[in-house]
């Protein structure tokens, strides 16, 4: 028996060569192996966009006007190149946040409402205060709100209570 290509008879211990494949069958086999490259790229793009949206909603990344000053000298933003204590001093808004019974002033936990009162008295009326209280326990919320109301009258500070209009 002779080989189709070279007209050389096959050796006795070798199996006969496979028949030549048709190009149509070869492409069909490739499609059945798995998803196409375009489908994988599209899936990766969708996952990347979803990850950015989740990070943005959780406040881990900032997009838009709130992101900082943009590319300055050296391409760094103001918030990333300035230490945290200096950045909070330059900001015009101070965040007062209650997480259950804990009170935070610009991300730093305070012992109680009296400490909050003394810190706001030190800062004064040069800044606006943003009161975030979505996860507050009512007793802590009432105590902090009373302190803020008192300081609004005494120091003429401006507080955004973030109350939902009903």
Of 4-8, 12-16, 141-145, 149-153, give the lowest mean pLDDT range.
4-8
* Secondary structure class of 85 (helix, strand, coil): helix
Q: Over the stretch 71-121, which tens digit does the pLDDT of each residue have?
A: 444 444 444 444 444 445 567 899 999 998 999 999 999 999 999 999 989
- For residue 11, what pLDDT band results from cuts at 50, 70 and 90? low
CA pair distance 100, 138, nearest whole angstrom: 9
Distant-in-sequence, close-in-space partners of 141: CB < 8 Å, separation ≥ 6: 98, 133
Confidence of residue 145 (pLDDT cuts 50, 70, 90): very high
What is the predicted pLDDT for the residue at 35?
67
pLDDT tens per residue, range 12-70: 566 667 776 665 555 555 555 666 888 889 999 999 999 988 888 877 777 765 555 44
* Closest of 6, 5, 33 to residue 20, by C-alpha: 5
Q: Report the distance separating Cα 46 and Cα 33, nearest Å.
A: 23
């Amino acid at each position: 028996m002779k080989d189709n290509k070279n007209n050389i008879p096959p050796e006795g211990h070798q199996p006969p060569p496979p028949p030549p494949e048709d190009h149509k069958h070869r492409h069909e086999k490739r499609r059945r192996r798995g998803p196409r490259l375009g489908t994988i790229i599209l899936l990766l793009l969708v996952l990347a966009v979803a990850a950015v949206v989740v990070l943005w909603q959780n406040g881990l990344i900032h997009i838009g006007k709130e992101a900082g000053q943009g590319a300055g000298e050296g391409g760094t933003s103001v918030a990333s190149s300035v230490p945290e204590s200096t950045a909070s001093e330059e900001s015009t808004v101070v965040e007062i946040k209650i997480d259950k019974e804990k009170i935070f002033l610009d991300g730093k936990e305070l012992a109680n409402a009296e400490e909050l009162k003394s810190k706001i008295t030190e800062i004064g009326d040069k800044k606006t205060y943003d009161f975030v209280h979505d996860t507050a326990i009512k007793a802590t919320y009432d105590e902090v709100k009373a302190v803020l109301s008192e300081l609004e009258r005494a120091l003429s500070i401006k507080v955004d209570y973030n109350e939902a209009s009903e």
